[in-house]
Amino acid sequence: MKTTDPLAGIMAFLAVADRASFTAAAEDLEMGRSAVGAQIRALEARLGVQLLQRSTRAVRLTEAGAAYRAALADIQDRVRHAGQAATAFQTEAVGRLRIAAPPDLGPDHVAPVVARFLAENSAVSIDLQLSTDAVDLIGDSFDLAIRGALAVEPRLVTRQIGASPLFACASPSYLARRGAPATPQDLATHACLHFSELRWGCKWRFERDNEVADVPILPRLECNNGPTLLAAAIAGAGIALEPAFVVGPAIRAGTVVPILADWHLPVIPLHAVYPANRNIASKVRSFVTMLATAFADHPDLGAAPG
């Protein structure tokens, strides 16, 4: 088949020119001798000149062939260096790493890992974008996303890197003023602070033994940012439903108190998501591993998957 590829046949020509032998060149290229000859004939036809003089005893460069070989003097080194530059992305953490993560995770949990990764990988730069949207990794050129909720996306690889339980909690001042609910159904009479992008809507699920309570709520406050809802809860505005990675420090400090402690709430799984490819870049593999290790060691992110 006719080709317009300007590089077709060049490596075969260089091998024959350097070895002065079709047989030796074929061995070097791990090709058949006839295939080498066919590539060079196609190259000569495309250039419109004879590059090699062939006889039963020897192969020599023509004048045009010698000029062509001289002009290609550094191409083999450049091809080798180009290959090394490309394969470096598989063997070393290099280049720009573009990450999408939820705003609630970014400042306290992703940023410290980013800082450590940058300190340990001087050849990497990071573009970290915080958004509640499920970005199009391939269309928007992201290397990696961190997500809690997952849809089935066959072009993506997912790896669970952590899990965080939900807590319903309120400030001591709110509970002193309004009292603590004794059952999930009592939430109907309380001020509920609701994360507006909760994937199952305005309904809080509680479980105990074999009992499930799906409680519809009428939020007094809705917000798409967990730390903001926590701040409102600490100020006494009501009861918030928050993941441990947002509310854990406040619970340990006593500024909010979990309610309905004999009931269980869902555990939010956290995933690293990246485009499916046999050759995942080293920077992606290394960052995901560091993230998973950091999350596993964190009291608010290393829960057993729900």
pLDDT in the model for residue 278:
59
CATH number at residue 260: 3.40.190.10
Mean of pLDDT over the chain: 87
pLDDT > 90 in the chain, percent: 50
Pairing label, strands 221-223, 192-195: parallel
- Determine the pLDDT at residue 93: 64
**62 contacts 53 by C-beta, under 8 angstroms:** yes
Strand, coil or helix: 205: strand
Task: Provide the pLDDT for residue 1.
Answer: 44
Rounded-to-integer distance, Cα 9 and Cα 247, Å: 64
The lowest-confidence range among 77-81, 122-126, 193-197, 236-240 is 77-81
Taking every pair of C-alpha atoms in the chain, what is the biggest distance, in angstroms? Answer: 104
For residue 18, tell me if it sits in a domain.
yes
Co-location of 57 and 200 in the same domain: no
* Cα(298)–Cα(95) distance, integer angstroms: 28
Answer yes or no: is pLDDT of 77 > 90: no
**100 and 151 fall within a common domain:** yes
Cross-strand pairs, 212: 207
Least confident of 74-78, 110-114, 212-216, 230-234: 74-78
Report yes or no on whether pTM surpasses 0.85: no
Query: Which residues make Cβ contacts (< 8 Å) with residue 268, sequence separation at least 6?
Result: 148, 163, 164, 165, 166, 243, 306
Tell me which long-range contacts 172-178 makes (C-beta under 8 A, separation of at least 24): 172/254, 172/257, 173/236, 174/233, 174/236, 174/237, 174/238, 174/239, 175/257, 175/259, 177/236
Task: Tell me which of 150 and 195 has the higher pLDDT.
Answer: 195
Tell me what pLDDT residue 74 has: 79
Q: Tens of pLDDT along 5-37? A: 556 688 888 888 888 888 888 888 888 888 888
The answer to whether residue 53 sits within a structural domain is yes
Structure confidence by residue, pLDDT tens digits, 212-252: 999 999 999 999 999 999 999 999 999 999 999 999 999 99
Answer yes or no: do 281 and 157 share one domain.
yes
Asked which of 91-105, 225-239, 283-297 is least confident by mean pLDDT, the reply is 91-105
- 139 and 288 fall within a common domain: yes
Cβ pair 34, 23 in contact under 8 A: no
Q: Are residues 273 and 157 in the same domain?
A: yes
Residue 171 scores a pLDDT above 60 = yes
Q: How many domains does one find in the chain?
A: 3
Mean pLDDT of 92-107: 86
Confidence check: pLDDT of 2 > 70? no
Phi then psi for residue 257, to 5 deg, are -125, 130
In this predicted structure, the answer to whether residue 78 has a pLDDT above a threshold of 50 is: yes
In a domain, 138, yes or no: yes
User: Whole domain around residue 28: which residue ranges?
Assistant: 10-73
273 and 158 in a single domain? The answer is yes
277 and 148 in a common domain: yes
Please check whether residues 274 and 255 belong to one and the same domain. Answer: no
Mean pLDDT score, 282-292:
92
Which of 56-65, 109-118, 151-160, 177-186 is predicted with the least confidence, judged by mean pLDDT? Answer: 151-160
Q: Is residue 79 part of a domain?
A: no
Q: What pLDDT score was predicted for residue 234?
A: 98
**26 plus 61 within the same structural domain:** yes
